[in-house]
Copies of this chain bind each other. A is one copy, B any other.
Amino acid sequence: MRRIITISREFGSGGRELGKRLAERMGVAYYDNEIVTAIAQKSGLAQSYVQGVMENRIQSYPIHYGRTFSLYSLPNNENQIHIFAAQHEILQEMAQKDDCVIVGRCADIILKDYRPFNLFVYADMPSKMERCRQREPEGEHYSDKELEKKIRQVDSGRARYRRLFTSVKWGSREGYHLCVNTSGIPIKDLVEVVYDYSQVWFAHQTEGGNK
């Protein structure tokens, strides 16, 4: 049985760091921005355009997987069809290859036949702002108000992009197996307990539902 962890996360919650560290702990591949690069290569589109669509800064219509596949399933232009198709193919290839940790890109929905362990990582606004400040590149400085606005905007884009794939709301508990609030806790201290939790979860998945 394949052991795949998908991570959905609020911007600034430390979800990416948790993903990287979990992948290290499991000794498996970690996929994040690589996915955008691979989609750009496969579709022949510019990486910035692909990124724009995936952050939902470019308008598109819902596409649904599984039971809810519906009349609304056509993206609104050819480029977006290419992006959706490439995203699907690339995530499938990654999942087929080996166990892995995948951050974002609706991997929890697209790979649901693999029964991944779906984690949602979040935090309160002060913690997210503090984490963002710590990784602020030199020369870049947002005011508190701007930073908060940016955090909310990124998350809104993620929520909108997710709506193209599923009717289950981004960040709503029913879409995930575990939701972790990282406020005030260094990510490195969460790795072992989240890893242990995932192992209990994997141990209870039957072979039947898995590829």
Contact = CB atoms under 8 A, between A and B. Distances in A.
Given A197-B197, A200-B193, A204-B189, A178 B176 contact: no
A103 to B, nearest CB: 18
**Majority secondary structure of chain A interface residues (helix, strand, loop or mixed):** mixed
Q: What range describes how many residues of A lie at the interface?
A: 20 to 34
Interface string A150-194: 000000000000000000000101101111110111100110111
| Best-buried of A124, A179, A180, A196 by chain B (most CB within 10 Å) | A179
A11 interface: no
Given A173-B179, A177-B181, A178-B180, A200 B189 contact: yes
A122 interface: yes
A30 interface: no
A166 to B, nearest CB: 15
A120 interface: yes
A120 B173 contact: yes
A201 interface: yes
A174 B125 CA distance: 10
| Best-buried of A171, A173, A185, A190 by chain B (most CB within 10 Å) | A173
Nearest to A185: B204
Contacts of A171: 173
A117 to B, nearest CB: 10
Interface of A: 120, 122, 124, 171, 173-174, 176-181, 183-186, 189-190, 192-194, 196-197, 200-201, 203-205
Given A122-B173, A178-B179, 12 more contacts: A122-B174, A171-B173, A174-B181, A176-B179, A177-B181, A177-B183, A178-B181, A179-B179, A185-B201, A189-B200, A189-B203, A193-B197
